[in-house]
Chain A
């Protein structure tokens, strides 16, 4: 056992309002410079939708992440390292600017300095890259709130294979938001792909960084990252990516995206994991088992053996305490409501998500049941407005029961707590039905609902 510490994040998608405050505060702080205009270290996607860059989840096209070869050994999907080394000077498989979007600004001077003219002045759009007039065709968040999604429904890779479950009709409409930052993976492809050794995973907290001095602009990291969260700065010729706000982290402050998250849905915390078992976990044969395998890598911070190994490995007592109090540990391991994004990429991502729960009662009510009856709540998950299969494609490599288990717990919490709120005797049976106790249900409720600043970070 080799214990390492990993700073990680959980986002509760059930609380996300899709406001993009995270994107804007991140951008204002980090990427409003020349060459970074199109970059969003943090972005928010409306799902169903194509995401940013468009269709990034289609790894048959982009070849990001890892795969198992015929012998069951882990290798980069974009080709073995030999291929990478031999084709160092060829263009890697990269999204073009149209796949992101061509950032633009406006001829604002037309307003203030307009000479006398026939019409009210306006400021036409122009490209921030070329400075030339632009016909806006795509943006960093073009399909927000399902704009144009109907026409582009075949372009969301997550719908493929479940077309009959996903009806994009007015009365069947569903949507939710997926905020994304770099996953700071336990098994990052970008690091493995970098020929210059410029991308590295910080030993002390697992944050994945690009060394701006060492980067030579090969862009292998851009190709390798299946989440497309490494970007190429076309002015400096260097790769840039989310830094987990390490200059803030080092001062004990949460990331900008987390602290400014108006939905209060982001949790940050430390987990301890066994670095020796990373490759084995990432090599789990059945991709539906990857979630459990990764969860299993995360060590119990109260386990005396783990604590001893951690101290031996140079992890300070304060950090062990932090891991013990980590909301991430609770959400992933204790309540088991957080799931990784695309475990099938085998990068062992460390930004996890609680899937969205809504609307439940709607479905039950239409079938004539009493909406607040706990038994019916569980039956209703099958008829959620958001198809469970769609969520499973995002979070469990298609494994539906795991997603359902999470949604059951969330629904049960609401049902259990309603009695508490109305001053009635809460029903322990509701908690037991989802393999929890009333007390753990209250604890989970406190973390998800009350969620004070110090409890979130």
Chain B
């Protein structure tokens, strides 16, 4: 508007002051002639436009905008614009150019969060690692040693330090206590390479461990170090299970690591339960889909013990006591089974459970010594007493479970079992078509008898609550065996009675004494019985009304418990009964930890160096550190603590360490080191004995000449020696039992207050050494751009690029796009990308290897793998130990596979920087499906260029991070449409159902790195995953299984309610069951929750100690940035209820200490009425690097959240070699849980000192 025109308007309106003031104020017209006063002198208007106020306009101006994202610790994978001015990164803002998801739903823009918005702070922050650093004592020792060894050989120099206990102690004892000095890249890398060469030569490559988590959000960076480790034969430590984020229920029930809907699919749901998932706080970029779906009438339920942010959006809030969620879900499941299966049937649910779940499959009952019956094994075609006809002698008949056909009145084998998956007879039959079979869900009505069985329970006053209950099931007889269905057993387990069955049954929903009823769950959870029944009923009714569009977002609040697998199975029961899995808008949604590496095939082969050698060495990190950080030496109980009364007592007399050793020697789980000798020496010893390597090894193991290392982990030659970490901060974040690490792994001071395991609970098979070793690790190497707790404790620190200084790829579960990293500036100071850093290390390593290593034959002990024939190792999941003489020692069946791998240690750098030949000669395999990629590798040669010399001559180059990204994109189905289609065609041969049309629309599409720089790139439907995005659909897992009848990767090929492995029966977890949180009072003598204690400087109160995810950081990242600290309380805090705080005189913002046997934390109290009594939150990983004082108790630096936790292992997580319960990296294995812990909190009485 033209101000001068406006100012010519005639005066109107009244004055607001008297005339004197008006005159005075009106004089401002003279002061600001360009402005215009309102006629009442109330307001000044001025013409704006480009001539005014250049100050803010100049501040806004910038030179360029670069697309990048944030690389680790976060499931967001948001696309960001990074603003650069005068060569300096100034700030960032979210990209808003996501490709549209359609006209009638909200778009993904503008994904992001305040944490990511403050990332640029790190670029120039005072905590930035700008140069390589080495611990001063070590640097000095290394320089001195080089002066004394022949030829200044760095390998010999390293050896002279670590072989000398006095010298080793000198630098190890200084870890974490300051005193880092700058080094050149050359010198630091020489030391690193020398340490690696020496360790391999002296102990073997499996004494080295690499760790980097969650690759999806920084695939090239993960792959860099991982590739180096795999090329030298060193194990990569898993992350998903270690973080306790992996839901074991997923492999157990679905035979899949984790496959979940993208957040946009929440929009399609009409009933959404956020269960232990604080969506606004921890899934910030996508929370809007939940909120917006409410506007089309989606009902939202929040299940959270506190008034969490998610509750703000909920139509109903259920607040169960922490860790009791399974009881609530069982109360809901009880209601659904009664009202939608027993009292009436619905075609939708009935059809769903018959086609897509194991409910109709047959199970034989086991008769125990006392004559009572318990649920037993699946009936399979090979069973003697079943008249299975011709299938009885068919291939893999041991792995063909059966159902009862109501047409022919006999047990039959349906298509699609795991027994159809790995043999020629199964070609075209691995599908879920039932054909003419009409399966019986129940034996009732066609039963020959009804019998009483015992089902386990864990809500009694016994050890860990165990006991049992008597229920009746209908059975048919085959030979001596009594056979029923999984459905009948589920009704027994869930206490849903039917007329004509014996046993004890609930009298109604209000029967609080009877297990599984809504009223019973109220006694456990505190949630009103009527509410539980109502929510269960609504969940089911909505599924009927909407065709399965009921969804549960299940989060770490329910997943980080010791018994989280059983909790999740009770949730999955709801989703499966109601036909919601494999339906857009329905099913489970788990977004904890691992995220989808959407271009999975390319990534896996790059990171695991499968282009050069197979198999890789992959370690399950939880048992790794449980053993190597010595936590096994402090258990106060045996394995049988976790058994059920319905079991056989098979765990008696064993410790958890024994079960780990067993899982290694039976080939269930990997463990490193493998043997008590160097794995490079096995072939040589065999040759010397004139034998083939593997037979020699098997014999030596049987004779005890060579032993598995897990059987004597405290022997000096069985320690891990090098621990390299990049993109991670184990000691500041994920190290459950951090203080045990301090003592045993690092060798520095700790705050433990613990007793060692008493004699009666010590291991039976694993050797107990009186002397417990400390400071096992020789070299701690960290690559980072931040100073973290882990960095502070490391011996060598290399300065890493930030996420705005490199090329990389990022994908996630949450959205369907491939996002890219690009450098906004050149690497500042001496920072290098992870790819460059590991390439540098590989080069020096290869040089030193010429003298010391050369080419060696390594023997890799490889556990039986999921999605391979290895999962057919143990019929019926029976446990037999060759070492106890229970069976023959057969590699790949009763013990690990042993595979010889030739390692030319002088060519590591050449291999690192070029794509190896195995891609073309062996193909690329993902989840059991092999892709022929010859054509695609040829294209990669064009994209990346080829190596000119060395072992990789003529192969595609991988010298840069960008070339690594091209490798991933070119060789994955999700980013290469032709590869996806070819893969589907291969898969069609097995399934006999049509699949390849799913990716036909994208057959000509290939995504290259430059595409991802231009905008987020939607991925292509691919057999690497289970959902279809064809035609612009939102990704929902298992839609291909449901719509195209492709089996799940399980024993039956269906989703499993029932698990019949010996150890699942032993732990009473064959079916979903409620197991309460572990009692730290019973197990370790901790003060009971709610009790006050007076043994410290001030009164203390014992509370449940929970560590949910923070609002002001993502793990330890972002926590120390200026915006995050000034928007929160700027340091470690513990949330407490008003009642608990008042009980011991704690006021808001008081300094407090939290203490238990594992350590001590100094923090400030946040007292809030949104917290339930008896529970305290310390948000996950706030880190001790900012504002953590010395503790009152010890006078030492206070701990982190994981200073109060420790590792506890569940033996059933170690199961392997049996269908979906077979090993895969980050797929199955003990999870590092931390939710069952308690702590005493008291007010600090002495002044704070830093």
Chain A residues within 8 Å of B, Cβ to Cβ = 2, 4-5, 14-15, 17-21, 23-25, 27-30, 32, 37, 73-75, 80-82, 85, 101, 103-106, 108-109, 111-112, 114-125, 135-137, 139-142, 144-152, 168-171, 173-176, 187-188, 191-192, 194, 196-197, 199-205, 207, 209, 211-212, 214, 243, 245-248, 250, 256, 259-264, 275-280, 313-315, 356, 358-362, 365, 371-372, 413-422, 445, 448-453
Contact = CB atoms under 8 A, between A and B. Distances in A.
Given A211-B53, A449-B292, A313 B6 contact: yes
B409 interface: no
Contacts of A19: 113-114, 280-281, 284, 287, 1111
A120 B1 contact: no
B38 interface: yes
A450 B1189 CA distance: 49
Contacts of A197: 28, 31-32, 35, 44
B43 A188 contact: yes
Contacts of B5: 313-314
A173 B307 contact: yes
7 contacts: A4-B1, A146-B1170, A170-B1137, A204-B1, A250-B49, A264-B288, A372-B297
B110 A261 contact: yes
A171 B111 CA distance: 33
A272 to B, nearest CB: 11
Given A197-B28, A203-B36, A365-B316, A17 B179 contact: no
Contact of B312 (A74, A176, A314): A176
A205 B48 contact: yes
B47 A260 contact: no
A201 B177 contact: no
A74 B1127 contact: no
Interface stretch (B393-401, B473-481, B1161-1169): B1161-1169
B1127 A141 contact: yes
B1117 to A, nearest CB: 14
Nearest to B291: A15
A111 B792 contact: yes
Interface in B10-55: 12-14, 16-17, 20-21, 24-25, 28, 31-32, 35-36, 38, 40, 42-50, 52-53, 55
A376 to B, nearest CB: 12
Given A81-B24, A201-B44, A263 B1147 contact: no
Interface in B772-795: 787, 789, 792-793
A15 B288 contact: yes
A203 B6 contact: yes
A25 B93 contact: yes
B402 interface: no
Interface in B1170-1185: 1170-1173, 1184-1185
Interface string B291-304: 11111111100000
Given A106-B1120, A148-B1168, A75 B114 contact: no
B1096 to A, nearest CB: 21
A170 B297 contact: no
Contacts of A171: 319
Contacts of B612: none
Given A122-B1185, A124-B1250, A422 B1111 contact: no
B287 A262 contact: yes
Given A187-B43, A205-B48, A148 B1167 contact: yes
A275 B1196 CA distance: 66
Given A106-B1120, A358-B312, A365-B316, A196 B31 contact: yes
B647 interface: no
Interface of B: 1-3, 5-6, 9, 12-14, 16-17, 20-21, 24-25, 28, 31-32, 35-36, 38, 40, 42-50, 52-53, 55-57, 59-61, 90-94, 96, 104-107, 109-114, 117-118, 120, 125-127, 129, 133, 136, 174, 176-180, 270, 280-281, 284-285, 287-288, 291-299, 307, 309, 311-317, 319, 531, 534, 545-546, 787, 789, 792-793, 1111, 1120, 1122-1123, 1125-1131, 1135, 1137-1138, 1147-1149, 1166-1173, 1184-1190, 1196-1197, 1248, 1250
Nearest to B44: A200
B50 A214 contact: no
Contact of B1127 (A144, A169, A200, A372): A144
Contacts of B1126: 37, 101, 103-104, 139-140
A276 to B, nearest CB: 5
Contacts of A278: 13, 38, 42-43
A204 B47 contact: yes
Given A2-B9, A264-B288, A362-B314, A112 B787 contact: yes
Contact of B288 (A151, A170, A262, A361): A262
A359 B1122 CA distance: 34
Contacts of B136: 116
Given A112-B133, A173-B307, A175-B312, 12 more contacts: A21-B94, A108-B127, A112-B127, A124-B1187, A196-B31, A197-B32, A203-B6, A246-B48, A247-B60, A358-B312, A421-B297, A450-B292
A360 B300 CA distance: 11
Nearest to A115: B178
Nearest to A452: B107
A224 to B, nearest CB: 12
A258 B107 CA distance: 15
A19 B114 CA distance: 7
B272 to A, nearest CB: 12
A90 to B, nearest CB: 17
Contacts of A277: 13
Contacts of A174: 307
B26 to A, nearest CB: 11
Contacts of A248: 60
Nearest to B48: A202
Most chain A CB within 10 A, of B45, B287, B1127, is at B1127
A415 B297 contact: yes
A117 B177 contact: yes
A187 B42 CA distance: 8
A18 B280 contact: yes
Contacts of B1190: 119
A417 B48 contact: no
B315 A362 contact: yes
Given A19-B280, A362-B315, A421-B270, A259 B48 contact: no
Contact of A203 (B25, B46, B316, B1171): B46
Contacts of A448: 292, 295
Contact of B315 (A80, A315, A359): A359
A108 B126 contact: yes
The 3 closest A-B pairs by CB, nearest first: A418-B297, A114-B178, A116-B179
A262 B1170 contact: no
A28 B127 contact: no
Contact of A111 (B13, B288, B315, B1185): B1185
B48 A151 contact: no
A277 B38 CA distance: 11
Given A30-B59, A209-B53, A445-B295, A259 B110 contact: yes
B177 A116 contact: yes
A145 to B, nearest CB: 7
B1135 A313 contact: no
Nearest to B83: A29
B546 A359 contact: no
A261 B291 CA distance: 14
A262 to B, nearest CB: 6
Given A197-B32, A358-B314, A361-B315, A414 B117 contact: no
B44 A191 contact: yes
A74 B16 contact: yes
Contact of B12 (A276, A314, A360): A276
B1129 A147 contact: yes
Contact of A73 (B16, B53, B110): B16
Contact of A417 (B174, B180, B297, B317): B297
Contacts of B114: 19-21, 23-24
Contacts of A417: 295-297
